[in-house]
Structure 1
């Protein structure tokens, strides 16, 4: 098939328009005998002059019902012909039109006396004629261009689905023959007239192509052709007014009497000779519809299934955040078959099971279960206070407490947690389980649960973060979680700040006054800040580092160029934008009230100017044509340009990427442009202590996912250090300044692909690279495999740490170009575009551990292997890291759950799944720790000998060679 380009009518947000051009047609004058019988006809405008004043109304109909009010042409005086050339616009858009929309077009004649028929009695207008034209053709394509509509005399356009005033004439067969028309007459058709009509149709088609630009324009010749076509159209109309040779069919039988006249089978009253409706003649109205660059095809809007009840899912949460219950299990009795087939031999009896859609499933409890729970929980209020669990129940409750934050509780588990709620107040893990067990729609239960909060054992930060998630809406519970966060220091709070900014979306908005109007007539509405927003603003206003990152996190949420999120209502997006703008405004007010407030605000303003300049330079470099060397020269010129003011800052500026570092300017001679489609550039800043701070700035790429992964790595590094396990991780800094721009800290290092492809310098070996930069000291200091001991320890530990972390986060697209090694032995990963188990390449390994990386440790430990091999140490470090992070899995999972609605494209999951659930699978929380340890041992052995990673590295190397 040839390519066909079209537009969707659902995307055409323009008002329906139609241009009324002219009316063509003739009819015989009324004889005096008719005027004597009908004196009122002498006052009708069309009977006094062939160019009398008419006006036209246009109204859309669908399913025989009007869609909106009609539009009407203005008054116009005609001299030589009825020509309007006027556009009419209807108060509705093309995107809202049904597929069966018709335009009912009626021409109205002016009369001096009321109509005799009684339908228009008391009015001074009667229908001159009418025509009904569909807006979409039989193929669902919107009609465009010139249209010729037949006018049915003395009838108003009805707009019905089975209209009696169709716009198109009945096509007659060619040739001189006898044919039957719609009135039941036998008509003799002239072959010459048929050929003339066919030629006129061909010319009109060519005229439409000319208007669409498909035929070249020749002005002097076009005007002559247009006049000739109009002349042919008038001749065609006059020819259609000639008396037709007809013979009335004998089959027209008498019908019911209408106003004293007998009607025929069609329901129409045969007009007597001399009646004005029987005059020979025909009229045609020429219209014009708007033209578009492409055909417009009808597309209907898909609405969700209509709800049976008023119960609706929460609008501020995504489908994955709503805790949907699984469908109930149905036990089919004898003779009942799930495939709706019955069998008499099995006792079916011919019965059939009907499946009925019920929107309440998943959003509402069973009414019987709700009533049962209310009765059970209501009668034990006094007895539950001193209730103690027996050993069996204690084990049951302990298993409930061990469930992860994404696990759902069964009805029995919820009932038991509620029953022993007073006993569980001493267990800090139980509060989140109690919140899941409470029916917050019941006022009595809510009051009892809130009354227990002051008595509860102090919860950990991970539980506080879970209570700030989308599943908790009670303000008292969220305020309790915020009080727990107040005890965290600023450095710890900085680890969770990215997620806490996202948690603002789930805060219940309380309006203190709504709809008040002041004397100036302006509506004033004050919104009370949520406890979480007030907490973040107060802490950030008192700390430069917190305030710096809060400001930039808010700027990303307020980015006007951010792509619209999928499956999120527009009103929710606008509400979130208003929320973050209000928090940003309140943060600036809080800064102004501090002693250094004005200086802090100036710093944020200067940071914004710096980022704007760097983003403009990056955009110019990316859009520049030429090779990499030309782009580097252009970058240097831009950096030294005085209007950019980048060489020397008058006042040291805290760097947005790292506010602890104050920079005084850039070093243009050390800049560079990387070989990539987005052309990110390398920049070196001068610092106040005489040092240098290199970074990479790029536009056109969403760095929020990389920022999230590096933040989780920094959190895991802190968790491991708290257990005295330093795995020498390198959580370099990343800051997204918008949804398509950001800065990345540059760490001097070398990709493994370069090390392993250097036969002369490093002999294609990681161990040789380490020996080259960290040779064994000559003073008999400790060394391993000819490498200084601290460098080898750093390499082994960092490889172990990143193997565990990348496995847990499901980091994909791992190849030797995004595995880096610094001269001091620090190994780390970059480029986290694929996480949560996604990978663009098939058969990708679960963990990147190549044979070359193991050889850098001295090779695998075998009985005949190297006695100095550090591989056993690697396995022990990796196992310890896995078990340590597994014990802190709740904190990691809660942080990921809060990022579910962050509008990050790489975090999108299927409906019913969650981001935290993808990571929870890799923690193996459903099994005991010994089982999880054995699983990890087998995983390391399997991935070390995997051939999938080798194939991927080879293919990636070939692809990079072709690009070069």
Structure 2
């Protein structure tokens, strides 16, 4: 509708919409209560029902399109999915019928099913959703459907399970407002909208816990204009449907003498309900083209210039980008030619039709052994959830054997997560694909990790603690899988030459972590003031009964290369925080001290992941001879809600601003003055260089990972000029503040470089551009590493976020020059508004403590 002229209304006819009907089954909400124990005693089969399970049961949804009491499609069912925290499918379903062919009374029935016993299922609830509203408008956007508990959806005209009811709740009211907002009926205000939607998420989370009814969320495609129902005209039908023409000479003569009836094509139209489905003739054609008979000819086939260009574009696709049918056929056609290209394997495997045994056999048994060695990023992609055949996964494992221990340590966190995608890790995996051509044997990934961890004590130390975290998670199925791996690991260590010594080290490390955890919990529960907590902590460490002042040399769990001999009581401290993290200084065998922070009550796995990616990016930059003086401090999660981090002596920018008259230069001059310097503002040249380089590195890295909640209390600066970030509770675009800047360059940092027109700021920008270009070249590696963490149950990690957020930052669809221009625009985002947010955060912290 035109706002200036309310009488002008723009819409489209459903008869002109020649796309298949598509919708997404998003999420199920509702609190399901298990059957009473007395019912289970009366009917023992109920103990196998999904609702009785302590974890989330394997729900699935069936849906069917019905009109005028007649089914228009067969019933469709969502794929199997193992749920973690909630029932979310996010699965798009496309029906074999177009919008233009829908009758006005079209409706979709949805029924949520659960396991009811051995080989039986029962409906959790059903609902019937009308595709067209009362005024004939096609429905679009997100919808919240009421589920009638315990019944299957009724698809009759006068349905008994309508999706709309008289039940009113707060979420229903908010859903209506959201629809008005999406239609443009409510005025938009960006800053207020973000706050409102964030508040709605909080209301939704609290209301979901109190729900007494069941609801199913679905998403329909959104169109630029309202779609109103209209019957297709005769001319439209004739252009959309195939026609049959008379072929015999007798028929032709009759028609020609009867006024050329063929001119009216509507007399010869035939409705084909199978037209939108897979054509069996085309499927047969594909199988013939890809048969073994053509294999001998394809071996010598080479692409021409045009085909080479198209293949080059395909090989440069991001790992998450799917291939079209034409691209798959092109890759298959030149599969033997591509065996010499290390980038081609992942794309070739996407072109394989895995339900066809002949294709699977040719791909895995003939072509895979011939393929040249692939890079680590492609090997990691092959270990993801998309690869089911264990022979392909085993090929990826063999490629990883060429990596040294330092490189393997860098990817160990993701390789451990890849064990969840092994066929042996899930009894359900073999049910997903029915073909016998796919192998579900063990790929050897677990044995490979165990062997390398037994050989290298440092690698084995990290492997042990990563396993401990997974075993301690609430998911019993995952804990069982990793428990078996840990058992095999310990058995193999015991058989090694230094087995007894290493098992004793792990035991002592576990006892140390348990002692620190107990003390941290006590401090957190205490109502004492911070000085009193520090006094109690120092007394506890100094007590010889606790064995913390002096101990036999023990490798530090955070860094097994360092052996500690005790904790210095006088330097122990407690930070000003609700969790009361402990600062501990460990004495080392070489006479040095190693400070670290131990925290209980906080999930540090996300910080651990971010720091790992920072370390990887630093290595990528150093390979290109670019040292940005980064300080990726070590982090280790020792449990699902505890861990330790290396402490780097430094001050927050907020504290520096308060103590040194609002200037970072005053802070640097106080520690490293150089009065005779030229162009370095009275600071040693090396110190200012450290500052500019580290600012550039962290600005680019936090931009790529979408690190949020950046304020002056989690931006730190060391006396030698090393700048770094801490506290990564928000990543991949999430941020508690409205309008967060994509690149965090606060005014204090710019002032320390001499302002936006200074040579140092120009050098800072150039370093950002160079660093971004180098890291962007390894975008596939970073994408695959974060994608493998999709099942790690880390709050901010999901496949959607990985694909959307990271690709948005890498701008892989742009040239290198255009991508740098986009980064340059983001670097200009510093403003007084960001400064205002930092000041507001400081006020909030003041009143909190």
Corresponding residue number in structure 1 for 2:515: 613
Corresponding residue number in structure 1 for 2:818: 931
Deviation at 1:439, TM superposition (A): 1.4
Where structure 2 has 5 or more consecutive residues not aligned to the other structure, the ranges are 1-29, 65-73, 105-135, 139-226, 238-273, 428-439
Which of 581, 586, 591 lines up with 1:685 in the alignment? Answer: 586
Corresponding residue number in structure 2 for 1:671: 572
What CA distance in whole angstroms lies between the structure 1 residues aligned with 2:792 and 2:653? 33
Deviation sequence 1:824-858 (CA, Å, 0-9, x none): 00000000000000000101111111222111111
Deviation at 1:93, TM superposition (A): 9.0
What CA distance in whole angstroms lies between the structure 1 residues aligned with 2:548 and 2:326? 65
What CA distance in whole angstroms lies between the structure 1 residues aligned with 2:314 and 2:89? 21
Which of 829, 832, 840 lines up with 1:955 in the alignment? Answer: 840
What CA distance in whole angstroms lies between the structure 2 residues aligned with 1:325 and 1:926? 27
Corresponding residue number in structure 1 for 2:229: 341
Deviation at 1:13, TM superposition (A): 4.9
What CA distance in whole angstroms lies between the structure 1 residues aligned with 2:51 and 2:319? 48
What CA distance in whole angstroms lies between the structure 2 residues aligned with 1:773 and 1:584? 48
Secondary structure of the 1:626 match is coil
What CA distance in whole angstroms lies between the structure 2 residues aligned with 1:316 and 1:340? 39
Secondary structure of the 1:500 match is helix
Deviation sequence 1:369-424 (CA, Å, 0-9, x none): 54442233226323211111111111111100110011111111111101100111
What CA distance in whole angstroms lies between the structure 2 residues aligned with 1:808 and 1:320? 27
Corresponding residue number in structure 2 for 1:724: 625
Deviation sequence 1:544-563 (CA, Å, 0-9, x none): 1100000000000000xx35
Corresponding residue number in structure 1 for 2:324: 410
CA contact (8 A) 1:897 1:914 kept: no
Alignment of 1:551-570 (within 5 A): 551-559=464-472, 562-564=473-475
Which of 323, 335, 338 lines up with 1:424 in the alignment? Answer: 338
CA contact (8 A) 2:100 2:232 kept: no
Corresponding residue number in structure 1 for 2:535: 633
What CA distance in whole angstroms lies between the structure 2 residues aligned with 1:682 and 1:12? 46
Secondary structure of the 2:706 match is coil
Which of 598, 601, 612 lines up with 1:700 in the alignment? Answer: 601
CA contact (8 A) 1:335 1:346 kept: no
What CA distance in whole angstroms lies between the structure 2 residues aligned with 1:334 and 1:603? 69
What CA distance in whole angstroms lies between the structure 2 residues aligned with 1:580 and 1:429? 32
Alignment of 1:251-266 (within 5 A): none
Corresponding residue number in structure 2 for 1:791: 687
What CA distance in whole angstroms lies between the structure 1 residues aligned with 2:443 and 2:231? 63
Deviation sequence 1:776-820 (CA, Å, 0-9, x none): 176x7x872221111111100000000000000000000000000
What CA distance in whole angstroms lies between the structure 1 residues aligned with 2:46 and 2:357? 47
Shift in CA distance, 806/756, structure 1 to aligned 2, threshold 3 Å: same
Where structure 1 has 5 or more consecutive residues not aligned to the other structure, the ranges are 1-7, 18-66, 71-89, 99-299, 350-359, 513-526, 565-572
- Once the two structures are overlaid, the 10-residue window that deviates more, 543-552 or 317-326, is 317-326
Shift in CA distance, 69/452, structure 1 to aligned 2, threshold 3 Å: closer
Corresponding residue number in structure 1 for 2:761: 871
Deviation sequence 1:312-348 (CA, Å, 0-9, x none): 6354699999996877894737999966834598889
Deviation at 1:882, TM superposition (A): 0.4
- Once the two structures are overlaid, the 10-residue window that deviates more, 822-831 or 587-596, is 587-596
Secondary structure of the 1:737 match is strand
Which of 728, 731, 749 lines up with 1:832 in the alignment? Answer: 728
What CA distance in whole angstroms lies between the structure 1 residues aligned with 2:38 and 2:50? 10
Corresponding residue number in structure 1 for 2:829: 943
Shift in CA distance, 325/896, structure 1 to aligned 2, threshold 3 Å: farther
Corresponding residue number in structure 1 for 2:386: 471
CA contact (8 A) 1:548 1:659 kept: yes
What CA distance in whole angstroms lies between the structure 2 residues aligned with 1:813 and 1:584? 36
What CA distance in whole angstroms lies between the structure 2 residues aligned with 1:317 and 1:648? 47
CA contact (8 A) 1:632 1:671 kept: yes
Deviation sequence 1:427-482 (CA, Å, 0-9, x none): 11111101111112222111211221232222111011111111001111111111
What CA distance in whole angstroms lies between the structure 2 residues aligned with 1:632 and 1:680? 11
CA contact (8 A) 1:15 1:92 kept: no
Corresponding residue number in structure 1 for 2:36: 14
**Matched positions, count:** 636
Which of 733, 752, 755 lines up with 1:856 in the alignment? Answer: 752
Secondary structure of the 1:471 match is coil
Alignment of 1:497-516 (within 5 A): 497-509=412-424
Which of 594, 602, 612 lines up with 1:711 in the alignment? Answer: 612
Corresponding residue number in structure 2 for 1:460: 375
CA contact (8 A) 1:11 1:95 kept: no
Secondary structure of the 1:659 match is strand
Deviation at 1:870, TM superposition (A): 0.3
* Alignment RMSD: 3.5
CA contact (8 A) 2:380 2:784 kept: yes
Deviation at 1:624, TM superposition (A): 1.1
Shift in CA distance, 963/69, structure 1 to aligned 2, threshold 3 Å: closer
What CA distance in whole angstroms lies between the structure 2 residues aligned with 1:887 and 1:660? 32
- Once the two structures are overlaid, the 10-residue window that deviates more, 749-758 or 817-826, is 749-758
Alignment of 1:225-240 (within 5 A): none
Shift in CA distance, 487/372, structure 1 to aligned 2, threshold 3 Å: same
Deviation at 1:15, TM superposition (A): 2.2
Secondary structure of the 2:662 match is coil
What CA distance in whole angstroms lies between the structure 1 residues aligned with 2:83 and 2:333? 30
Shift in CA distance, 395/673, structure 1 to aligned 2, threshold 3 Å: same
What CA distance in whole angstroms lies between the structure 1 residues aligned with 2:379 and 2:479? 25
2:441 matched to 1:441? no
Corresponding residue number in structure 2 for 1:820: 716
Q: Which has the larger radius of gyration?
A: 1
What CA distance in whole angstroms lies between the structure 1 residues aligned with 2:76 and 2:446? 32
CA contact (8 A) 2:711 2:841 kept: yes
